[in-house]
Structures are given as structure tokens and as C-alpha cells.
Structure 1
């Protein structure tokens, strides 16, 4: 009963691979070039979502649900990361009135 769903059969697997690679590359470029902490945070989330797209497409292509369990755990870790990361960003904004990561050197003792 391991049949590939109709949607996956109509779209080649390479398209999913290229799409997730492009999303991950955009996330990496955003992390390396931006200075705003919120934008960097969103780029990290974009990279996690690129991995989720890749795992989901490979799981559906192979008709195996084990990779989708990893997607669930990645989403749980991402939700925890959002809570902690936004709390850190809010506290740094309260202290230095900016979300620029270059200004975080002022917080050193």
C-alpha cells in the first residue's frame, strides 16, 4: 500500500529540492548580511522551514512517515526558540533601544 500521492507524482522531486535549497540559501544570506536581530531571527526560521519542506517532500516521495516525525520535532524546537529569542530581543531593546546586533558589544562588562 506504499503509493505515492498524486500531487507528489505530478511535481518532480527535484523541484522540491531546488525550492528548499533556494529557501535555505536566502536564509543563510540573510543571517550573514543583516544586522537587525529580528531579521536574523526570521532568516533562521526560514532555514528551519526549508529543512521542513525538504523532509516533508522526501517523506511523501518515499511514502514513509518517519521524516514527518522529525518535522514535528523541528517545529517544536522552533517554537521554543521563538519564545526565548524574542524575549532576548525585547530585553536588549529595552537596554540599548536598538535591535542592531553590532551594538550588543555595549552590554559587555
Structure 2
């Protein structure tokens, strides 16, 4: 598969993720959009790494990004759960201040 096709797919995934983050009001949907953008970046890293068979920095960096994304998802979901318990909603427009 040519590099241009892979990069176009990565750009499309990133744009879809960005559109989800900008348009959705649900906190879980926003987190899914962020994860989609991180996966698009990983796709681009692996695509560039594929064309340099000696150096594997792109693939190694993609593994680090996956690890950070898993930690980010765990912390963000914990925060969303606590916010939902306090405000009884996951709608980001209705949560406009974090005071009790």
C-alpha cells in the first residue's frame, strides 16, 4: 500500500476524531474522539516507520503513545464517573462549573 494512501487514511481518521470532539456534548463521546485522534497519529507513525526498515523509532513511539492513551483513558473515565456522580449528567454543556 503506498504511503500517500496510508497518510490520507490517517488524516481522515484525525479529522473524524476532531469533528467528534468539537460537536459532541457527551463526555464519553469526546473521549472516544480523542482516542480516535491518537490512533490516527499512531497510524502515521507506523506508516513512516515502515519505509525505514533499519530504524524502528516510529513503531516504538507508537507503543509509547498507546501506553499513554490507555493511562489517559483510565484517568479520564475515572474523572467522568466522579463528575457524573456529583452532577448527575455527562453532558458537558450542563457542567459549567466545578464547585459544590
Superposition TM-score, scaled by structure 1 size: 0.86
Which residue does the alignment assign to 2:70? 79
Structure 1 or 2: larger helix share? 1
Once the 2 structures are TM-superposed, how far is the Cα of residue 98 of structure 1 from its aligned partner?
1.1
In the alignment, does 2:44 pair up with 1:54?
yes
Equivalences, count:
99
Deviations 1:44-75 (A, max 9, x none): 00000000001001101222311111111101
Which residue does the alignment assign to 1:18? 8
Larger Rg: 1
Deviations 1:54-103 (A, max 9, x none): 10011012223111111111011101101100000101111111110112
Which segments of 5 or more consecutive residues in structure 2 lack a partner in the other structure?
Answer: none
Task: Give me the whole-angstrom Cα distance separating, in 2, the residues matched to 1:61 and 1:103.
Answer: 47
Superposition TM-score, scaled by structure 2 size: 0.93
